[in-house]
Structure 1
Amino acid sequence: MKQLSVKPYVQRDLFPASSDPPVSRSISVYRVSLVKDESVSFGNVRLANSQEAQALIQNLILTKGQPDREQFVVTLLNSKNEIIGLNIVSVGGLSSAPVHPREVLKPAILANAAAMVLAHNHPSNDLEPSPDDINVTKKIIRAAEIVGIQVHEHLIISMEDDRYYSFADQGIIARMYADLA
């Protein structure tokens, strides 16, 4: 049997002394801000159910997005579950839109959101969640949990009618949170 050699961990000096003279250069200083582009009309400031969220997101994609492509949208909510903003996080192609938790959480953190509703459309109108839909939802929930933002829902919506698939209504969101515990 072959023996594996294990090297001991060696603490590395992250800021080693240098014999080179210091170089003067400029360093970028950033300011992070949230910019309100415009407003969309919607009757209620508080979402009562998944159907209301579906109508809001469908309206956003129809008026400000590209309904022939898959788009991932986040609805931002305050601690009273009142809508404080909407963001089209990603626009993809016919069958997918690239989504990363960092990009989903960015508008939520900047808007000081306490919770959010995730949603995306399926241009094919097949509303059944794909394995990728399930996996990205899990990743977003884990990341959001770390920064203290609750994910209430993930909807897959049709752009042709008022049909939708609700992860919360199917118990998927609750199971994902139970798996975190």
Structure 2
Amino acid sequence: MRPQPPPERAAVGEAEREKPHHDGHRDRLRDRFAQAGEAALADYELLELVLFRTIPRRDVKPLAKTLLARFGSLSQVLNAPPHLLAEVDGMGRSTALDFRILTALQQRTLRQEFRGRDLLSSWAALLDYCRAAMAHETREQFRILFLDKKNALIADEVQQTGTIDHTPVYPREVVRRALELSATALILVHNHPSGDPAPSRADIDMTKTIAATAKPLGIALHDHLIIGRSGHTSFKAAGLL
């Protein structure tokens, strides 16, 4: 007859058998991040750390890898539309909401990097913010940054949202809003959902019309940025303004 282990040892052994194998993985991943930072983790492992928060009792490594394979990058996963995230088996509404919260935090943090500062001397921070806010939008947005005489940000407003390849822009409305805010300068920003930031003929003509309408009223147009997933175009740098 095989000897039986003491009751307390038997209880511990049973608990270890029932404990999900991924519990130890979660602890090890958190410890590695705490000790070595994000550089020590692969993209899917960073995504796992986010998924741990809303999926507490499941191995989320397969889901993290599936999301990256489906959308292509961490940035595209976190910015994916909720209806597309819902198509991935294992994704729930609360997890999709967590992704939206993360992107909102990122955008607000980046925007605060240049608040109260000369925007023209904070150009890298401005580009980071515009990319985070617009590069992954599935429809065109036309955004205006209204500046004061010290080139500090007065307001950041999305004036229009259009289709996948067109946004209606009304130069008189742009200038009227600038006058309401007592802005003395503008930076125009819009995205190309196709990913290609090259300006169209319509983009160029619209920009020239806004510049010509604003100038007699003492409002300068500093630049027009087109944001795409593959990069950006500055009208000023390209000699189009």
Shared fold by TM > 0.5? yes
- Deviation string for 1:45-65 (max 9, x for gaps)? 322254433223334447xxx
- % identity of equivalent residues: 34
- Deviation string for 1:145-166 (max 9, x for gaps)? 12110000000002x36x2100
1:99 maps onto 2:169 in alignment: yes
Using the size of structure 1 for normalisation, the TM-score is 0.65
SS for the counterpart of 1:58 is helix
Q: Residue type of the partner of 2:202? A: D
Shift of the 172–49 alpha-carbon distance from structure 1 to 2, 3 Å rule, reads farther
C-alpha distance in 2 between matches for 1:109 and 1:152 = 16
User: Contact (CA 8 Å) 1:50, 1:166: kept in 2 or not?
Assistant: no
Task: Identify the match of residue 232 of structure 2 among 148, 151, 164.
Answer: 164
Equivalent residue number for residue 151 of structure 1 = 221
What aligned pairs does 1:3-14 form with structure 2 within 5 A after superposition?
none
- Deviation string for 1:55-86 (max 9, x for gaps)? 23334447xxx811001111011101111111
What aligned pairs does 1:65-80 form with structure 2 within 5 A after superposition?
67-80=137-150
SS for the counterpart of 1:125 is coil
Equivalent residue number for residue 46 of structure 1 = 118
Equivalent residue number for residue 132 of structure 1 = 202
Q: Aligned pairs, how many?
A: 130
C-alpha distance in 2 between matches for 1:60 and 1:85 = 15
Structure 2 residue ranges without an equivalent (≥5): 1-106
- Deviation string for 1:99-126 (max 9, x for gaps)? 0102222321111111010110000011
Structure 1 residue ranges without an equivalent (≥5): 1-38, 174-181
User: Contact (CA 8 Å) 2:171, 2:209: kept in 1 or not?
Assistant: yes
RMSD: 2.1
Shift of the 51–133 alpha-carbon distance from structure 1 to 2, 3 Å rule, reads farther
* Structure 1 moving runs of 4+ over 4 Å: none
C-alpha distance in 2 between matches for 1:54 and 1:104 = 21
Using the size of structure 2 for normalisation, the TM-score is 0.50
- Higher helix residue share: 2
C-alpha distance in 2 between matches for 1:69 and 1:88 = 12
C-alpha distance in 1 between matches for 2:113 and 2:157 = 18
Q: Which has the higher contact order (CA 8 A, sep 6+)?
A: 1
